[in-house]
Amino acid sequence: MDTPRSLFPALPPAGHAFIRLVDSCRFPDHLRALRAAHARLLFLLGLPSHPASAAVRVKLIQAYAACAALPAARAVLDSSPDRSTVFFNVLLRGLTAASLHRDALLLFASMRPQGPACFPDHYTYPLALKSCAATNGLILGLQIHSSTARLGLNGNAFVAHSTISMYARCGRPDEAYQMFEEMQYRDVVSWNAMISGFAHAGLFGRAMDVFRELVALQCPKPDAGTMASILPSMGKARIEDIIFLRGVFDEMQFKGLISWNAMLAIYTNNEMHVEAVELFMRMHKDGIEPDSVTLATVLPSCGEVSALSLGKRIHEIIKRKRMCSSMLLENALMDMYASCGCLKEARDVFDSMGVRDVVSWTSIISAYGRHGHGREAIDLFEKMRGQGLEPDSIAFVAILAACSHAGLLDMGKRYFYSMTSRYHIPPKLEHYACMVDLLGRAGCISEAYDFIMMMPVKPNERVWGALLGACRIHSNMDIGLLAADSLLRLAPKQTGYYVLLSNIYARAGRWADVSMVRSVMESKGIKKLPGVSNAELGYRVHTFHIGDTSHPQSKLIYEKLSELLRRIREMGYNPEVEATLHDVEEEDKEGHLSVHSEKLAIAFVLINTSPGTPIRITMNLRTCSDCHHAAKLISTITSREIILKDVNRIHHIVQGVCSCGDYW
């Protein structure tokens, strides 16, 4: 940036060159050049009374702050005999930008004692209020608001916005809204401040109400800041609110990367992964260049729906942009490959990382566990410990789950008890759920029940659900009914538990009780969550439901499926009618097993890919035993590897053999 000579008329030509150098110093690696320019300017200026001295010192404070050398910036301020409010404002901005809010407030408090030349102004107060908001400094915030009101600054938009944010973030949303209501003119920044204020106060409904009010006014128009402001309110949002937001997003004339990232985050946070992938593809089509936030946001969605081709494309973008030093992105890449069933590629990312934290190790341990490689997960856990990294609470969830999936009962018990005895980590409900699952899958149903009874905390539905699932596997009617009774009191509308209970009755041949469970579901208006399977083809994710005929290739899909079923019947396949209990009443007949979403998705991939191409299917539920059995036979007759990911684990099926060993 060129500096006009008129600002520094008393400087020689060399001085202007050094000023330009100071202006260009904006990053920490520029610090050496900045110090050199500073020394030369001091020499050229001579005495502090030089006419250009004050302006040069302000620029030096600004440059040191930009280079993250805040002590040096403060030293320039302290050494300036002619300091004024602008000196303090420049340093305050640097401190708040670096999130050094307590230092900023101490600097703010030191201004008035310096005399009238250093009194705060309409630039100072917003910065101080921002630091009050960040430190929950309500008392000082109230004093500042009183000062701004006395000085007549409440009408200043920047002061008003900062006051609204301060009140909201300090737990006083009603005062924030009162301030907002009293504003004579509200621009979009005012609305954004109020939306953000309610969102950060946890008043998500009120944030959405203000958002809708802004949209209804049609002026001012929502902008990227509006999308960013509403984002914290959209963690577990209503579908109608998400649709409304998407409509607003689509109508925005100038979206900007922040808006795209916010909309992507809304989809991923609400497990709308197909929509997230489709939005990213539209973003690519529109020529919007993604940043690291975009890629870290969409990678988990690629993993959730097994969009491997897109995940690989994103990996190439990361390499091209040289973002591989970002641990956040590397961890996200690792999870994406693991979720797509590509354990080798996940391990390659892990091995190539220059720095690994506990999150990185936990991710790869979890990946091996989900793929059924419990021994390898244990080896990695021990290597992590050997490198001096102490496992945290989440790492223990990963290793306990890995032991559970592989049936490693003794190792799982050892790790569970080492949490408290060695690492002093108190078990949480998720650790207890893992232990119940571990015991239950191993057939120790009574021990699992006793374990629940001895828990020092009240078991939640995940704990009882793990026990009920184990009772279904091992046909334990007595304890299964106890688990079901507890579950239906905790989660009376959770369909999956009714289905598990009906399966237990069915295995025992108690068909009257099966009908009773279904009658209860009917009377309460409870419907089974429909099974959904996703398959990627050419960067697009295709979705299938049970009995789906909406796909453009439906005729070909059903023809292929009929051929597959005929061929596997010749190999001895008989539909497992008990598996129909995973679906709602009208799907009880044997014929409906043939149109489960997994089978439709497998047929779709087969007709659209060349021989030898792996088949990757992602489900939103646990795959039924019939589809699992059919997939093993289909892998044999087609010589295809089938990677079937359900909510429990990832099944690698090759030539009729599944990595789960039929233990899932």
Q: Domain containing 62: what range?
A: 12-76
pLDDT tens readout for residues 317-330: 999 988 877 889 99
Reply yes or no on whether the pLDDT at 2 is more than 60. no
pLDDT tens readout for residues 248-281: 999 998 899 999 999 999 999 999 999 999 999 9
Give every CB contact of residue 330 below 8 A, 6+ residues apart in sequence.
Answer: 324, 349, 353, 360
* Average pLDDT along the chain: 89
Residue 59 lies in a domain: yes
Residue 58 lies in a domain: yes
Reply yes or no on whether the pLDDT at 661 is more than 80. no
Count other Cβ atoms within 10 Å, centred on residue 538.
8
Both 518 and 539 in one domain: the answer is no
Q: 460: which strand partners?
A: none
Domain boundary among 37, 61, 76: 76
Residue 517 lies in a domain: yes
Residue 344 lies in a domain: no
pLDDT tens readout for residues 164-210: 999 988 989 999 999 999 888 889 999 999 999 899 888 999 999 99
DSSP state for residue 355 in the 8-state scheme:
S
Both 558 and 646 in one domain: the answer is yes
Residue 651 lies in a domain: yes
9 three-class SS = coil
Give every CB contact of residue 8 below 8 A, 6+ residues apart in sequence.
Answer: 15, 16, 19, 52, 55, 56
Both 546 and 650 in one domain: the answer is yes
Residue 602 lies in a domain: yes
Reply yes or no on whether the pLDDT at 584 is more than 60. no
Reply yes or no on whether the pLDDT at 589 is more than 50. no
Cβ atoms of 589 and 601 closer than 8 Å: no
Structure tokens at 255: 């979206």
Per the model's pLDDT, the better-predicted residue between 150 and 52 turns out to be: 150
The answer to which of 77-81, 100-104, 195-199, 249-253 has the lowest mean pLDDT is: 77-81
The answer to which of 283-287, 520-524, 629-633 has the lowest mean pLDDT is: 520-524
pLDDT tens readout for residues 610-633: 999 999 999 998 888 889 999 999
Structure tokens at 544: 């299938």
Both 542 and 635 in one domain: the answer is yes
Residue 549 lies in a domain: yes
DSSP state for residue 291 in the 8-state scheme:
-
Q: What percent of the chain clears pLDDT 90, i.e. is strictly above it?
A: 67
| Mean pLDDT, residues 127-135 taken together | 95
Task: Give pTM, 2 decimals.
Answer: 0.82
Residue 153 lies in a domain: no
Per the model's pLDDT, the better-predicted residue between 433 and 512 turns out to be: 433
Q: Where are the alpha helices (DSSP H) in 79-203?
A: 85-97, 101-109, 124-134, 138-150, 157-169, 173-182, 188-200
| Mean pLDDT, residues 299-324 taken together | 92
Reply yes or no on whether the pLDDT at 664 is more than 70. no
Sorting pLDDT into bands at 50, 70 and 90, what band is 9?
A: low
Both 447 and 508 in one domain: the answer is yes
CATH, residue 448: 1.25.40
Domain boundary among 524, 555, 575: 524
Interatomic CA distance for residues 148 and 640, integer angstroms: 72
pLDDT tens readout for residues 28-56: 888 898 898 888 887 766 656 666 778 88
Both 514 and 545 in one domain: the answer is no
Query: For residue 532, what pLDDT is reported?
Result: 92
Integer angstrom CA distances of residue 219 from 186, 188, 252, 255, 278: 10, 8, 13, 17, 30
Interatomic CA distance for residues 363 and 350, integer angstroms: 9
Query: For residue 13, what pLDDT is reported?
Result: 65
Interatomic CA distance for residues 169 and 69, integer angstroms: 29
Query: For residue 606, what pLDDT is reported?
Result: 97
**How many whole angstroms from its chain centre is CA 396?**
20
Query: For residue 496, what pLDDT is reported?
Result: 78
The answer to which of 103-117, 224-238, 525-539 has the lowest mean pLDDT is: 525-539
pLDDT tens readout for residues 367-381: 999 998 999 999 999
Query: For residue 588, what pLDDT is reported?
Result: 45
Both 498 and 538 in one domain: the answer is no
Element (H, E) at 368: helix 358-370
Both 547 and 632 in one domain: the answer is yes
Interatomic CA distance for residues 400 and 270, integer angstroms: 27
The answer to which of 83-97, 235-249, 451-465, 488-502 has the lowest mean pLDDT is: 488-502
Domain boundary among 48, 76, 104: 76
Both 568 and 643 in one domain: the answer is yes
Sorting pLDDT into bands at 50, 70 and 90, what band is 585?
A: very low
585 three-class SS = helix
DSSP per-residue string spanning 146-177: HHHHHTT-TTSHHHHHHHHHHHHHTT-HHHHH
Query: For residue 50, what pLDDT is reported?
Result: 67
Element (H, E) at 542: strand 540-545
Both 617 and 552 in one domain: the answer is yes
Query: For residue 6, what pLDDT is reported?
Result: 53
Q: What percent of the chain clears pLDDT 70, i.e. is strictly above it?
A: 94
120 three-class SS = coil
Sorting pLDDT into bands at 50, 70 and 90, what band is 8?
A: low
Reply yes or no on whether the pLDDT at 587 is more than 50. no
Both 620 and 542 in one domain: the answer is yes
> Domains in the chain: how many in total?
3
Both 638 and 549 in one domain: the answer is yes
The answer to which of 4-18, 115-129, 478-492 has the lowest mean pLDDT is: 4-18
